[in-house]
Amino acid sequence: MTELAIVESRADRASVHICDQLRALAEWDERVDDDRPDADGGGTYYRLEGVELRSFEAFHLDLERPVDAFDCDPELLVFASRHSGETGPLLTGHFTGNFGPAEFGGADHAVAEACPNALATLLEAFETYAPDGYDVGLECTHHGPTDVGCPSLFAELGSDDAQWDDPEGAEAVARAILELRGVSAHRERTVVGFGGNHYVPRFERLVRETPWAVGHVGADWALEAMGHPNAHTAVLEAAFEASNTELAVIDGEWPVLEQTLEEAGYRLVSETWVREVGDRSLESVGAVESTLGTVEDGVRFGDRCGDQFAVYSLADALLNRAEGIDPDRVRAAVAANSVAFETTQGGSRIGSRVALPTPAAESYRAIVESLATILEDRYETVTVEDDAIVAKRVSFDPDLARGAGVPEGPKFGMLANGESVTVDGTRIDPERVRTEEIDVFDI
């Protein structure tokens, strides 16, 4: 089981209230450490299976290597803390570090090891336990400490005196922290974030709405404090290493940063990419993007899985005709039978190439038959043959109507709608001015 360390700061009354709630929520084993000063995590401390809680005199952000005080060899450390700001009742979490100069603890241009999977779990637990009237949020990387000794995060109760003294808010944070027992620090699907404001709504959406986690986030103000990216590649590289990923999402326009990261070998992906990839095999995603094209180029993923696929071309005439009838059903048919497919017009239309799981012929035939069904909305008969779809319909023929003496205008419309008309005392039925139309779509 992952060993969890919890840090209480006696200089932070919200931290004390959260830890009081922690002590009340479980049957802790109370122990005494006489080898370490009481101010530095010694004295009375508390143990549960897989959890250790120690108290320190200093503020959290001034602590360096607090992990050394713990007996349990922690794999994850949580600072129970207050949150300060004009944000109203708020439960929030974040990682620590300074992309620029250190103004509130830690070292300049340094970050602590993050725990993206644990932070995603914490936010989910906050949603479960938050009292009425409390919001839940994610913050960018800020303040110290930067040398913790193991992956860590801040779990915070905010944002003012009323909340710091609120037992319900403190209990919510305490319960959320206990949900981190046995939780791994890292997750395979993680991105680093750059840009955005302090409360990083784009990255919070990714954590809440996708299987992906977010590691360190350098908000706009932190990037400005950092200075020119080329002069501070060390802290940028540290943010990736501490988050255990080589992928980044950038919120906003940071062209010099983008160039610096790409030259350093990191991959920049979009929010669309993260959402499209979801929980799909990253090996399969890589194979699709190297064969069919990238998400940025318009490739979208279908409902079928698998690393083995073949690229087929859909018949343009058939595809265009079906999309002219019902583009949503066309997209659903292609997605249901493909690993991935091209799109055009900003992703709103299906492109001609699709990646089909092997044996691909079966999937291709399923798409063709689905498109044929869509054609039935506009044709009387639709027949799927070996190499073509033959679609037949009887439709109003303007030339036959003119030949019958029908003047162009409202009577044309009546005949087209299947109504009889009278011209100079002669009744003309719609069947008289119809022609059978046959469309053949090669497949």
Burial (CB < 10 A; 0-12, 13-18, 19+), residue 246, is middle
Scored b (16 or more CB within 10 A) or e, 412-442 reads bebbbeeeebeeeeeebebeebbeeeebebe
The average pLDDT across 253-269 equals: 97
Of 249, 353, 247, 250, whose CA–CA distance to 300 is shortest? Answer: 353
Share of the chain above pLDDT 90, in %: 86
Check residue 203 and give its pLDDT. Answer: 98
* Residue 44 binned pLDDT confidence (cut-offs 50, 70, 90): very high
Scored b (16 or more CB within 10 A) or e, 62-90 reads bbbebbebbeeebbbbbbbbbbeeebebb
* Residue 1 binned pLDDT confidence (cut-offs 50, 70, 90): low
SS3 track for 192-212 = EEEECCCCCHHHHHHHHHCCC
Q: Which of 44-48, 154-158, 234-238, 430-434 has the lowest mean pLDDT?
A: 430-434
3-state secondary structure (DSSP) of residue 329? helix
Q: Which of 20-24, 361-365, 385-389, 428-432 has the lowest mean pLDDT?
A: 428-432
The rounded mean pLDDT for the chain is 95
User: Per the structure block, which two tokens stand in for 384?
Assistant: 């799927």
In this structure, the number of other CB atoms found within 10 A of the CB of residue 328 comes to 8
Check residue 397 and give its pLDDT. Answer: 83
How many residues are recorded in the chain? 443
User: What residues contact residue 239 under an 8 Å CB cut-off, 6+ apart?
Assistant: 97, 99, 111, 141, 192, 215, 216, 218
* Residue 306 binned pLDDT confidence (cut-offs 50, 70, 90): confident
Check residue 437 and give its pLDDT. Answer: 87
What's the pLDDT tens digit per position in 84-93? Answer: 999 999 999 9
The average pLDDT across 53-79 equals: 95
The average pLDDT across 317-325 equals: 95
User: Per the structure block, which two tokens stand in for 346?
Assistant: 């900003």
Helices (H), 89-243: 116-129, 161-164, 167-178, 201-209, 220-226, 233-243
pTM for the structure as a whole: 0.87
List the Cα angle 280/367/329 in 5-degree steps.
Answer: 85
Integer Cα distance of 10 and 381 in angstroms: 80
Phi, psi of 272 (to 5 degrees): -60, -45
What's the pLDDT tens digit per position in 98-138? Answer: 999 999 999 999 999 999 999 999 999 999 999 999 999 99
Q: Is the separation of the CB atoms in 131 and 172 below 8 Å?
A: yes
In this structure, the number of other CB atoms found within 10 A of the CB of residue 370 comes to 17
Check residue 357 and give its pLDDT. Answer: 94
- Residue 386 DSSP class: S
Integer Cα distance of 153 and 220 in angstroms: 21
190 forms bridges with which residues in the sheet? Answer: 213
Burial (CB < 10 A; 0-12, 13-18, 19+), residue 181, is middle
Of 75, 74, 31, whose CA–CA distance to 55 is shortest? Answer: 31
pLDDT at 404 over 80: yes
Q: Is the separation of the CB atoms in 347 and 303 below 8 Å?
A: no
What's the pLDDT tens digit per position in 169-213? Answer: 999 999 999 999 999 999 999 999 999 999 999 999 999 999 999
pLDDT at 2 over 80: no
Check residue 428 and give its pLDDT. Answer: 86
